Amino acid sequence: MRVTWVLLASAGCWHEPTPAIQPVMPPPAPIAITRPRPPPSPYAEVVGTWKGVGFQYDTKGRWDLEMTLFKRANIGDVIGTIAYENGNCTAELTRQPERGDTLVMTEKLVTGQGKCVDGGTIRIPRRPVAGELDWRWDFSTGNEGASATVKRD
């Protein structure tokens, strides 16, 4: 007797398992990128425009000055401007690390090269006294070279 085995295969009977339905998630909220704001000036009381007459020790010369300080600036950033001799010489003031209660700024001439000394350091107190500031200017060597009493404009 002869036995014949018959294999039956059914095409298409095998099914992949249906994946579980995944919930649709909303896209993530955009990340707000904000630039850090410079810290407020530790010398908010001196913000604004100050005017006075400077006296230079070596030449015995006198000259007017007008200094404007901004609300805020990081150390190393421009914190203000200064003009000498009715604007014949102008400079940007860059904030430096404070010395105790003294705001320290270096100046870089914008106009008046050759007429005015470039690269000086200006020192003013943290707070005005009776509406005035004791303004001091040092040569780049560190020697004090000029002074003024400036008043708010």
What CATH fold (topology level) applies to the domain 44-152? Answer: Lipocalin (2.40.128)
The secondary structure element, H or E, covering residue 92 is strand 89-99
Residue 5: pLDDT band by 50, 70, 90 thresholds?
very low
13: Cβ–Cβ under 8 A, 6 or more apart, which residues?
Answer: none
User: What is the pTM (predicted TM-score) of this model?
Assistant: 0.71
The pLDDT of residue 7 is 44
Are 77 and 96 in contact, with CB atoms under 8 Å apart? no
Q: Which amino acid is at 79?
A: I
Q: What pLDDT does 93 receive?
A: 97
Parse the chain into domains and list their residue ranges: 44-152
